[in-house]
Each structure stands twice: as C-alpha cells, then as structure tokens.
Amino acid sequence: MMTDNERLRQWLEDDSCEPFLCPAKYGQNILIKSKKDEQFRYLFHQYCYGDEIIQKRARFEYCGIFFKGGGLIYDSDDEFDLAGQELIAPRDRLQMKQDVQSGVRAIINDRVANDRSKLLIRELSSPQNIKSVDGFKSYGAIEKAKELFLNRESPQDISFCCEYEFGTWSEENLLEYIRDPAGFIRAEAETYWQENQEIMLLQFLNNEATAHELQAIIDAGDSELHRARNIIDAVERTGAQSVTVTIRKNGKEFEFKYGTDQLKRVPSRTYSTWPMAASDRAAFELLFNRYDDFTPGSIIRITFRKKIYYQAEPLTTAEEAPC
C-alpha cells in the first residue's frame, strides 16, 4: 500500500485530471492541478472540513508550482497541510530573490575585484551621474567619512561592492529560475554587467572621494570628531544608561547627568541641553547662556559610579569647530 507521500508524487507526475485528497488535522485538503507545459503543473487547493469532497461555494487557492524536472513544489504558500513536506522546495519567493541577489553580487564582485580598470568604461557620460558624483564630493563624502571614522575603518577598508537589486518575479522569470537557478543568476549578472557600467564607475568615484575625506580626518589629529569617537568608546564601556559629564567652557566647569544614548551619536555641531534633567539645565543656563550647548571638545571628564571612563583637556577651538 502506497504512503500519502508516494500517492502525492505519483499524482503530481501523471496527467490525471482527478483531484488529490490529502488528509489534514480536522478535514482534508483537495488539490487540483493545471498543466502549464511538460515541465510545470500549477497547483490549487481547497480546505474541506469533515469528509466532504470539494465544497461548491468554497474557492480554490493557488498554492504552488510543481517542477517535474526537480520533483519539487516551488512558490508554496505553506498554508495547508500537505502530505510529503519533503516535496516542497525550501525557498519561497523572498528567499529565491535573496539567492539571486547574493549570487549576482558575488559574480560581479569577483569580476571587478575592487579594480576600477576592470570596468569597460573610464569616464562618466551621463549628465545626471556627473552631477551626482559632484554633489557627493561636496556633501556626501564627508558625512560618509565621518561614519567610517567613528566605526574605526580606514581608507583601505573602502572597496567596491556590487549594488545589484533584483526586481520582481513574473511568471516567466520565476519559471526560468526554477528550471536553472545557476544559469538564471549568470544571465542576470551578465545583463547587470553590460547595462550598469556607469553605476559601478560612480561607486568607485564616490569611494575615492570618501577615502580622501577619511584620510583628511585621520590626518587632522585631535579634533572634535576624534573626541566624539573617544567619547562613544568610553560610554559604551560603561554599559550605563546615564553617566556624569563634566564640561569646561569659557574657563567654567559644570557637572551634570546625561544619557549615554545622546553621547553615542555624533552631533551635527553640539550636544543639546534638553536631555538634561530640568534642574541641571537650569543651572547650565544660569552659568553659561540660555541658548548655549556644548561640544565633544568641551567635555573634560565622564564618570560612572565614581570611576573615570574619559578624561581630556578641552579643545581650544571647542566653541567654534563643528564635528
């Protein structure tokens, strides 16, 4: 006597138009199939309570594609009890999309090998891309360089990384992928290589601009940004939600409680006094100015439970120099 798994596989393989009854916990699934071609069968199911066979007012729902070449059901919604779960491919549409993306990116990254000379072009020709790289040099590169600096990355760590994104599954490309996943990925990679040379060159140019700005930050030595990075490292070591901060501004020192979440981010120019307790903020405004703030360079000490985690002399330009 055949098992449910064996019956299901036999039914999937043959050209019978009969429905397939698959026992479920409180009833049964009724499966029907529609022949796409010699390789593919589209599957639909209806759940029936009790012993009924096909309810006349119930709808059949799409539930997957059977590929005879591989003997697996793809694109299953996995919302029905199906005998023979080993017949269901372990990849849904999202996972297959991720497989395609990672596969194409790996092929392109290997082909480029972080070497700009491997590209088929040497200069940008699109006015939009030329404008984009000019804008990035003026505004984006410095912000990206700050981010990399705070993550303790070096200019040598900046490398080409393929940015290919898979679009959407259509019936045609889904079936093509199921037939030959590796071939589909190779074809996608070749199309991307031929059609996106300027996009890849643009990334190289942006990387070069970022590396230049990052090196400038490193060469600057002690600065507001260096202080900000050291402060982030210090407060992360505390493991605390708030610490005691001491600042020195205009020859005056002030001590207050401050949240580490505020110190872990890099201010565009200054740290705000608003996260302070109301009493500390009032004392700050009385000592300095109601609309004043403080910079990483004005912080001279950070303590937690009487232990010093950060200590430095204030920067002489602490009041002028932005991060």
Instruction: Compute the distance between CA of residue 255 and CA of residue 101 in angstroms, rounded to an integer.
Output: 52
Residues 200 and 105 in one domain: yes
Residues 52 and 101 in one domain: no
Residues 20 and 57 in one domain: yes
Residues 147 and 210 in one domain: yes
Q: How many domains are there within the chain?
A: 3
| 76: confidence class by pLDDT, cuts 50, 70, 90 | confident
Question: What is the pLDDT, as a whole number, of residue 26?
Answer: 73
Question: What is the pLDDT, as a whole number, of residue 59?
Answer: 82
102 contacts 92 by C-beta, under 8 angstroms: no
Which residue type occupies 289? N
Residue 319 falls within a domain, yes or no? no
Residue 318 falls within a domain, yes or no? no
Which phi and psi angles does 117 have, rounded to 5°? -70, -15
Q: Interior CA angle at 57 toward 56 and 60, to 5°?
A: 85
Residue 190 falls within a domain, yes or no? yes
Partnered with residue 248 across adjacent β-strands are: 253
Q: State which of 25, 54, 87 marks the end of a domain.
A: 87
3-state secondary structure 51-81: CCCCCCCCCCEEEEEEECCCCEEECCCCCCC
Q: State which of 87, 111, 144 marks the end of a domain.
A: 87
The whole-number average pLDDT for the span 247-268 is 91
Residues 248 and 290 in one domain: yes
Q: Each residue of 84-138: pLDDT tens digit?
A: 567 888 888 999 999 999 999 999 999 999 999 999 999 999 999 999 999 999 9
Give residue 107's domain range. Answer: 94-219
Residues 101 and 182 in one domain: yes
pTM here is 0.81
Helix 197-219 to helix 181-195 angle (10° resolution) is 70
Residues 249 and 142 in one domain: no
Reported as half-sphere exposure (CB side, CA atoms, 13 A), residue 197 has a value of 12
Closest CA to 129 of 218, 237, 204, 226: 204
The whole-number average pLDDT for the span 266-293 is 89
Residues 186 and 151 in one domain: yes
Q: State which of 33, 52, 87 marks the end of a domain.
A: 87
Q: Each residue of 134-183: pLDDT tens digit?
A: 999 999 999 999 999 998 999 999 999 999 999 999 999 999 999 999 99
Residue 321 falls within a domain, yes or no? no
Residues 139 and 157 in one domain: yes
Residue 316 falls within a domain, yes or no? no
